[in-house]
Amino acid sequence: MYTIILVDDERLTLVTLANYIDWEKMSCRVIATASNGRDALEKVESLQPDILITDVKMPVMDGIELCKQVHTRFPNIQIVFLSGYNEFDYACAALQHGACGYLLKPIDHEELAATMRKVRQRCEEQKNRLNSTLLTSGEYLRELLQIGGNLLSGLADEVTAVYNHHLHLPADNQTFYFVFISINEYTLLAEHPLAFDAPSGDFSTVERLEFFIAGLPSFSRGVLTKLRDGQWIFATKESDRTVFTHWRNQSASAQRWISLFLTDHPQSLLSFSKQWPKMLQIHNQLVAIHGTGLINDNWENTHPALRQEPFPKTEHLIAAVKQNRRDQVEEWLHDFYDGGLPPGSISQAFVESVSIFDAVRSAVAANNRHLQDIINKDSKFFGRLSLMESMQSMKTHMRQILSLIMDELEASPVDRHIEIVNEVCTIIQKNYEQVISIDMLAELIFLSPNYLRTIFKDVTGKTLLEYVTQIRMDNACLMLQETNIRVQEIAKRVGYDSPSYFGAVFFKRTGLTPNQYRTHAKKGSRT
């Protein structure tokens, strides 16, 4: 629809034109009316219609003066004059000031339709020319931002001229405000949409966001240029953070995924092209640290905090997952992902995340076939993780997969306890000759000592000390029966530094001294 402002000092004519003409049939829409040229000029400046239909003779400011000013300041607006028969020569003279047609009063509908066809054609031609110049200016802008430097000042001049023309600014204007618009996590949403962002209908989240951004020039006058997938530059004559925030917040998805970085003062294209690398770097760092949906107009004075503390220990996370301590898992995730950007950038956080998850999976799901199957079904986990631009997205993603693991462990706690106890028993059986403590065992399987004591007793009916003693005595009995190794050496081989203490424990368990046991065992063997 092409927009129209109607101007006539005769109220009846104005009402008839506004309300009794089927403008929609002619692909037009009346957006305002005025009764004199001065009022009309103010509305033209505010609304900038495609078409102005104005009477010639009016009070305050006549149609010719209005036409002169509009044609000078807004050359893209098509102007049609209205005149009576006795004003025909006057109207014809007015055409010299940029009008594209005239209509005689009273309005003939066929004549109006014919004139509007001509006007619409000129509007379309103007629109095509404008689109062509905007496409060219977009190519030039991308080259300016990619290469930069004064060597491309000629390109900057051409783009500046297009911007001035499109924004109705004076030809000698050299400065604009710039807004960097980005769809954060663009590749993630485009290639591996998250379950909670699954699109409804025919369009994906990314497509809906792109449609939304394409409508920005209708909300705020400016020139929108796409730099690459997920990134745009919007050049405008005014920059108000409140306005752009209001625009973005019209859509919940836009509010969540779109970030806006604004220049805080007007500047030339060459000046902006020199600042662009810093703007892009700060944008990437802040998104990596804080996540999506940022608005920043003070980025030049921003210094993103790099991580100072080491990453929290993986074994603490494993212990929290095994014990289903979700509060401790959340605390660990906070320490890992909210501690600032690591020196190696977001890629370092990804590498660490993969390593940590592998360790958790190995420690928790190694002997749980059902849990392994659940994790393997979520085959997109690492693919999504590798595409993420922010540590906050990684945090959310890790929380989801860890929650899934803990849900499964919580659903079958007895089976899981048996797996843990079996793992402890295997460690003891392989290391009974060494010093074994509850703290050492708890650290090896990433559990607290008290928790390990509890579940071990629940599953086996024995304390850990009783089980360690049992394994040591069983192996001592075998060596006494099958070898001629001295008792002192056997004591050392089963983990006792003191032969006398070994003898006391052995007697308490079997009712015999080690030598008596050996003698009876060999007699029994001969028999």
Least confident of 144-148, 266-270, 494-498: 144-148
What pLDDT was estimated at residue 47?
85
What pLDDT was estimated at residue 74?
83
What pLDDT was estimated at residue 211?
92
Q: What are 56-98's pLDDT values in tens digits?
A: 888 888 888 898 888 888 888 899 988 876 666 666 666 666 6
Least confident of 37-46, 190-199, 237-246, 247-256: 190-199
Neighbours of 460 (CB within 10 A): 17
Least confident of 13-17, 110-114, 222-226, 366-370: 366-370
- Which own/partner pairs from 303-311 qualify as long-range (CB within 8 Å, at least 24 positions apart)? 304/340, 304/341, 305/340, 305/341, 306/340, 306/341, 306/342, 306/343, 307/339, 307/340, 307/341, 307/342, 307/343, 308/339, 308/340, 309/335, 309/339, 311/335, 311/336, 311/339, 311/342, 311/352
Whole-number Å distance between alpha carbons of 440 and 468: 13
* pLDDT over 80 (residue 284): yes
**Strand, coil or helix: 172:** coil
Whole-number Å distance between alpha carbons of 347 and 386: 8
- Which of 131, 190, 203 minimizes the C-alpha distance to 166? 131
Mean of pLDDT over the chain: 85
* pLDDT over 50 (residue 414): yes
Q: Which two tokens stand for residue 283?
A: 């944008």
What pLDDT was estimated at residue 368?
65
**Strand, coil or helix: 373:** helix
In sequence order, what DSSP letters do the residues of 273-325 get, joined into one string?
HHHHHHHHHHHHHHHHHH-S--EES-GGG--PPBP-SPPPPHHHHHHHHHTT-
* pLDDT over 50 (residue 466): yes
Orientation of helix 63-73 relative to helix 37-47, angle to 10°: 20
Q: Which two tokens stand for residue 512?
A: 């015999």
Stretch (H or E) spanning 500: helix 499-510
Determine phi and psi for 178, rounding to 5 degrees.
-125, 140
pLDDT mean over 8-26: 90
Residue 527 — very low, low, confident or very high, per pLDDT cuts 50/70/90?
A: very low
Whole-number Å distance between alpha carbons of 116 and 98: 16
CA distances from 386 to 132, 403, 495 (A): 38, 20, 48
| Residue length of the chain | 527
Whole-number Å distance between alpha carbons of 511 and 3: 107
Q: Looking at this protein, which amino acid is placed at residue 184? A: N
pLDDT mean over 158-178: 87
What pLDDT was estimated at residue 327?
92
- Which of 472, 487, 475 minimizes the C-alpha distance to 518? 487
Alpha helical stretches, state H, 366-448: 369-377, 381-387, 391-411, 413-431, 438-444
Are the C-beta atoms of 92 and 83 separated by less than 8 Å? no
Q: Which two tokens stand for residue 405?
A: 């693991």
Q: Looking at this protein, which amino acid is placed at residue 481? A: Q
pLDDT mean over 443-463: 82
Q: Which two tokens stand for residue 320?
A: 């929290």
What pLDDT was estimated at residue 526?
47
Whole-number Å distance between alpha carbons of 372 and 378: 10
Whole-number Å distance between alpha carbons of 64 and 291: 56
Rounded to two decimals, what is the model's pTM?
0.63
Choice between 295 and 447, residue whose per-residue pLDDT is larger? 295
Q: Which two tokens stand for residue 213?
A: 């951004």
pLDDT above 90 coverage of the chain, percent: 33
Least confident of 84-93, 161-170, 216-225: 84-93
Whole-number Å distance between alpha carbons of 238 and 222: 9
Residue 477 — very low, low, confident or very high, per pLDDT cuts 50/70/90?
A: very high
Q: What are 481-499's pLDDT values in tens digits?
A: 888 899 999 999 998 988 8
- Which of 52, 90, 93 minimizes the C-alpha distance to 69? 52
pLDDT mean over 186-213: 74
* pLDDT over 60 (residue 199): no
**Strand, coil or helix: 178:** strand
Are the C-beta atoms of 49 and 77 separated by less than 8 Å? yes
Q: How many helices (H) and strands (E) does the chain have?
A: 25, 10
Q: Categorise residue 201: left if φ over 0, alpha if ψ from -120 to 50, beta otherwise.
A: left
Alpha helical stretches, state H, 176-268: 186-191, 205-214, 216-219, 241-248, 252-257
What pLDDT was estimated at residue 196?
46
Whole-number Å distance between alpha carbons of 413 and 407: 10
Whole-number Å distance between alpha carbons of 22 and 18: 9
Whole-number Å distance between alpha carbons of 127 and 51: 13
Q: What are 304-349's pLDDT values in tens digits?
A: 888 888 889 998 898 888 888 899 999 999 999 998 888 777 888 8
Residue 99 — very low, low, confident or very high, per pLDDT cuts 50/70/90?
A: confident
* pLDDT over 60 (residue 198): no
